Structure 1
Amino acid sequence: MKSTLSLLALGCAASALATAATAQDKTLTISVYSFAQDEYTEALYEPFEEMCGCDVVVETGNSVERMAKIEANAADPVIDMAVISTQDALSLAEKDLLAPIDSSKLSNFDKLYDSAKDPNGDGMAVGYTYYASSIVYRSDLVEIDSWGDLLGDELAGQVALPNITGTQGPLTLMMLGKAMGETEDYGQVISTIGEHSDDIVTFYSRSSELVQLMNQQEVIAAPVGKFAWGSFKDAGLPFAWATPEEGQAGGMNVMVMTKDNGNEELAYEFMDYWLSTEVQTKIAEMLVDSPANKEVEVSEEIADNLTYGADVINSLNIMPASEIVENREAWVEQWNAEVIR
């Protein structure tokens, strides 16, 4: 009897260990932007973990840091899936670091706006959110009518601009160029920023960094993506979203999957869940992301705080990802020489 019980105990222990090992193995590692992580945890990460019986490991950072990590670990990926800008997705794809997206494994794919289905035309990314980019400012202290106001005397010493290496950097170049009448030579725009560099409080890399500076009233105006607007809207200070005469810039953030990560099925499951009407609605109602799922319906009040609907999306000034990728190295070199110095 003792021998039989021992064998049963050993069998149960082995089964428990196997179950634990299986659960431990079912882990998805994602790379995301650092903002709104509490909201993502509530609306996306924890519900998905409960649904799939898996663990979601979340890594955050700015675009440069996260792309560098993917590239450094290309031979043995440590990131399964990432959300990045269209230009960063194109850059990673050109380095053969991404896996093609099999849309047949995404049940919510057909619910997306057409422009989100294959934003770069290479089958390597799928859009999950659109964003407008404009200028957030203190409406009690200044009035913003043009992107050119960012370099004006009234804002000297009180403005922040995005670093050229971040998502907002090229968009700000484009819109400043429109204000200056420089719609093709962005090198001249960089030179002009360089001439005003002493008037810029900082060149920020993370929207969370900008939120802190503006809450501390060290900065009263700065370009920012609409996806970060909720952090300002709820801050208790009179922040406003500018409607400059040149219009708003815009773009799309996309989902990508690293090549040969070995965790593709779980990554597809997570991507599909994120693109669902339910999750995209939750995240939109939290004022975190504007939906790429065209079935999402929100109140007029919420829509006013998002990049929402075909009419708004079609009005955005969008710089092609290929233009950014082709020119980024030269822009960064000139930026370091003339702006950062």
Structure 2
Amino acid sequence: MKCDNPFRTRHAHSAMQRTVQLPSLSVTALSLCSLIALGSSAAQAADEKLVISVYGFAQDAFSEIVYKPFEEQCQCELVVETGNSVERLAKLEARKDDPEIDMAVMSTHDALSANRKGVTQAIDVSRLSNFDKLYDIAKDPLGDHLGIGYTFYATSIVYRSDKVSIDSWQDLFKDELKGRVAFPNVTTNQGPPALYMLGKAMGDDDASLEAPIKQVAEHRDDIVTFYERSSQVAQLMQQEEILAAPVGRFAWGAYTKMDMPLAWATPTEGQTGGMNVMVLTKGAKHEDLAYQFMDFWLSTGIQTQLAEALVDSPANAEVIVSDEVAGNLTYGAETVSSLKLMAPDVILDNRDQWLESWNDKVAQ
């Protein structure tokens, strides 16, 4: 059945003071056409689908705060794929000629690696209404707008304040902490930043990290474990097997629930940390939706809810939270400006050499 527009005919005739009697069949046809059009629009909306790749962390909270509200706003389907960085990056690379994922979140150095492999494209920040609300360090952490920071975290030392004091990264190796320290493995996101700050405390910030790796090797018998997951540290602290360890601020909430005096160190050399960024897949099939989703996630309201749920520290500088919430996050202009983050290209270009040096000196 051909669905012409009878309203246009009626309007034209009305302008000429004519009356046209539509046959009942035409009215029926009109109703059917309207139903078909409405059904077509609904089907089209249902076909709109955005595919994202994210960490598996706190997905229940993300679903409630970010995913479901966005689906309601865009009237589209959001497909969420989760996994660790290695798995997700490998999948993006394998499908780079026919991408099924539209946008992803990852660390700055993994994002740079993805771009070098031809997986991602530059982001047009003029399409993000919330871009100017971000802290400066989050606006272009990779250069050329290859990624937009949506959260970051500090890395420092958590310690038993009733047993020991921590004023420097070098304090990890003082006598009263022998056999009571955990240190991150070099293969973790916390490993290289912790080594970097140890080097700064030694007066050596060379990108090779040779000096701090050597120092860790000299004290390896005094270190309880070289941990792979932050949950290991919390368990060892709860069991009182360790008194101090470098950790990411995102894990601090677990320590606040322990019935023991624990503190977050502010070493004289400063705090380091990391940042996660949003990236846009090269050749994304749903690019418009990807931009809408990124902008939604960066908005003050969504970033505030994520912060209040202790899921992410906000990259949006307009976010305001209570002192209690702020105490569990990397929050505020002063804290953010004090972070000594490693450049993503330094991490990417040196991590193979770091691993080789670590295996030779520490893991032998």
- TM-score calculated relative to the size of structure 2: 0.79
Matched, 1:102 2:110: no
RMSD after superposition = 3.2
Partner residue of 2:185 out of 163, 179, 200: 163
Structure 2 letter corresponding to 1:319: M
Distance in 1 between residues matched to 2:306 and 2:229, nearest whole Å:
20
Structure 1, 302-311 or 175-184: larger mean CA deviation: 302-311
Residue 119 of structure 1 deviates from its aligned partner by: 1.4
CA contact (8 A) 1:132 1:307 kept: yes
Find out whether 1:258 has 2:300 as its counterpart. Answer: no
Answer yes or no: is the 8 Å Cα contact 1:31–1:79 preserved in 2: no
Give, in whole Å, the separation in 1 of the partners of 2:362 and 2:42: 56
Indicate which of 73, 84, 91 corresponds to 1:69.
Answer: 91
Tell me the residue number matched to 1:93.
115
Which region of structure 1 is more displaced relative to structure 2, 184-193 or 153-162?
153-162
Matches within 5 A, 1:126-137: 126-137=148-159
* Aligned match for 2:176, one of 144, 150, 154: 154
Q: Is the 8 A contact 1:133 1:224 kept in 2?
A: yes
Between the two proteins, the alignment pairs up a number of residues equal to: 332
Unaligned runs of 5+ in 1: 1-11
CA deviations 1:108-140 (Å, max 9, x no partner) are 112112332211212210111232211122334
Partner in structure 1 of residue 142 of structure 2: 120
Residue 211 of structure 2, aligned match among 185, 188, 192: 188
> 2-side partners of 1:69 and 1:154: how far apart?
46
**Within the alignment, does 1:224 sit opposite 2:247 as a pair?**
yes
Distance in 2 between the 1:248 and 1:261 partners?
Answer: 37
Instruction: Report the Cα distance in structure 2 between the residues aligned to 1:157 and 1:24, rounded to whole angstroms.
Output: 58
Q: Does the alignment pair 1:333 with 2:356? A: yes
**Aligned: 1:280 with 2:309:** no
SS at match of 2:362: helix
My pick for the range that moved more, 330-339 or 210-219, is 210-219
Change (3 A) 1:142 1:269: same
Question: Which 5+ residue runs of structure 2 have no aligned equivalent?
Answer: 1-34
One-letter code of the match for 1:338? K
Offset of residue 89 of structure 1: 1.6
**Mapped partners of 1:157, 1:148: distance in 2:** 15
Partner of 1:200: 223
Q: Is the 8 A contact 1:228 1:288 kept in 2?
A: no
- Which residue of 314, 320, 334 maps to 2:343? 320
1:17 CA displacement:
11
Provide TM-score, normalisation by structure 1.
0.84
Match of 1:177, as an amino acid?
G
Assess if the C-alpha contact under 8 Å between 1:28 and 1:54 holds in 2. no
Q: Supply the distance in 2 between the matched residues of 1:174 and 1:118 (Cα, whole angstroms).
A: 22
C-alpha separation between the residues in 1 aligned to 2:177 and 2:239? 16
What percent of counterpart residues are identical?
Answer: 58
TM-aligned CA distance change 1:96 to 1:191, over 3 Å: same
C-alpha displacement at 1:27, in angstroms? 4.3
Match of 1:26 in 2: 49
Matches of 1:140 and 1:61 in 2, distance apart? 39
